């Protein structure tokens, strides 16, 4: 285990050595798998750097800070995940993926997990952790119900037009934002997409999830969509609060349109 941790520890030690010499730095913490202790050779390193004055979202400032802690090969900001305070970086010697979130002390109060404090000035990070609680975003069942049937219709449109790779990618999106999180919730996990489903959900649930994976072919895509709908409805009915407003009209309309697409597929194959 020590050999596995060594590359991560090397980067952490370098970071601490550099930032503790800067008066702007308040503290450094680690999140993700560093918290749970299940870090392995294929993990990335999630760091939180807290400073007196804001560093983010100025990309050049974020890169300048990050470049000080090691040989940075490439980096970009986390706009694609809605987090402009995040810098995603690749380091050399050792080759390591490191995510660095740049926060002020006030921003550190609002967090989805309690990170491990690696270094801090005057116990300021510890004080924040003791005065506030982490809060992971709850799964929005109503928001998913409002979106799900529209998304299935969109996927069917792509299949009907013969845009099989687009349909394939869209089904993967639905799997990541709807089916995966619901399966995680069913198994007592945080709703983190399809992260580590191979080892954190039941064998039966994993087998059902695999049925949603398709090839870029009409019949395979339609079969996967059948499983996506079946899984969603079953998990929704099992997990959602009784206040959920089910859109049965949209569900019936999608079932009817599904039959149309299936008939079209048969006609085209027989031609």
Q: Report which secondary-structure segment, H or E, holds 100.
A: strand 96-104
Q: What is the pTM of this model?
A: 0.88
Proportion of the chain in helix, strand, coil states, percent, rounded to 5: 55, 15, 30
CA atoms within 13 A on the CB side of 13: 7
Asked whether residue 270 carries a pLDDT value surpassing 50, the answer given is no
Chain position carrying tokens 């090839």: 215
**Which pLDDT score, from 0 to 100, does residue 71 have?**
95
**Which pLDDT score, from 0 to 100, does residue 7 have?**
85
Task: Find, among 253, 270, 267, 264, the residue nearest to 160 by Cα.
Answer: 264
Q: Is 51 helix (H, G, I), strand (E, B) or coil?
A: strand
Q: Is 83 helix (H, G, I), strand (E, B) or coil?
A: strand
Look up residue 106 and give its two tokens. Answer: 């006030």
**C-beta of residue 182 within 8 angstroms of C-beta of residue 191:** yes
**Which pLDDT score, from 0 to 100, does residue 269 have?**
44
pLDDT in tens, 231-245: 999 999 999 999 999
Q: Name the pLDDT band for 94 (thresholds 50, 70, 90).
A: confident
**C-beta of residue 88 within 8 angstroms of C-beta of residue 76:** yes
**C-beta of residue 75 within 8 angstroms of C-beta of residue 66:** yes
Asked whether residue 21 carries a pLDDT value surpassing 90, the answer given is yes
pLDDT in tens, 134-164: 999 999 999 999 999 999 999 999 999 999 9
Q: Name the pLDDT band for 87 (thresholds 50, 70, 90).
A: very high
pLDDT in tens, 170-204: 999 999 999 999 999 999 999 999 999 999 999 99
CA distance 102 to 92: 21
- For the ranges 1-10, 36-45, 109-118, 219-228, which has the lowest average pLDDT? 1-10
The pLDDT of 25-40, averaged and rounded, is 92
Give, in order, the Cα–Cα distances in Å from 189 to each of 1, 136, 155, 247. Answer: 25, 11, 28, 27
Asked whether residue 36 carries a pLDDT value surpassing 50, the answer given is yes
**Which pLDDT score, from 0 to 100, does residue 1 have?**
58
Strands 96-104 and 45-51: parallel
């Amino acid at each position: 285990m020590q050999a596995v941790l060594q590359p991560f520890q090397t980067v952490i030690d370098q970071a601490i050595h550099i930032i503790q010499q800067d008066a702007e730095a308040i503290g450094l913490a680690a999140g993700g798998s560093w918290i749970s202790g299940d870090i392995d050779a294929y993990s990335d390193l999630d760091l939180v750097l807290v400073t007196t004055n804001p560093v983010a979202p100025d990309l050049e400032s974020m890169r300048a800070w990050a470049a000080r802690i090691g040989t940075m090969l490439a980096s970009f900001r986390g706009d694609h995940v809605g987090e402009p305070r995040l810098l995603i970086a690749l380091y050399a010697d050792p080759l390591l993926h490191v995510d660095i979130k740049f926060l002020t002390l006030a921003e550190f109060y609002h967090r989805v997990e309690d990170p491990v404090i690696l270094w801090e000035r005057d116990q300021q990070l510890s004080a924040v952790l003791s005065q506030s609680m982490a809060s992971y975003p709850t799964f929005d069942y109503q928001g998913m119900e409002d979106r799900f049937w529209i998304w299935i219709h969109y996927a069917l449109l792509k299949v009907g037009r013969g845009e099989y790779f687009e349909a394939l990618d869209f089904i993967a999106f639905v799997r990541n934002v709807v089916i995966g999180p619901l399966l995680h919730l069913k198994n007592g996990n945080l709703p983190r997409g399809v992260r580590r489903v191979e080892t954190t959900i039941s064998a039966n649930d994993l087998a059902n999830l695999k049925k949603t994976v398709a090839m870029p072919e009409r019949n395979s895509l339609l079969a996967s969509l059948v499983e996506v709908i079946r899984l969603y409805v079953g998990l929704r009915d099992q997990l959602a609060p009784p206040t959920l407003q089910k859109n049965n009209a949209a569900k019936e309309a999608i079932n009817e349109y599904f039959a149309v697409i299936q008939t079209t597929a048969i006609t085209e194959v027989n031609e």
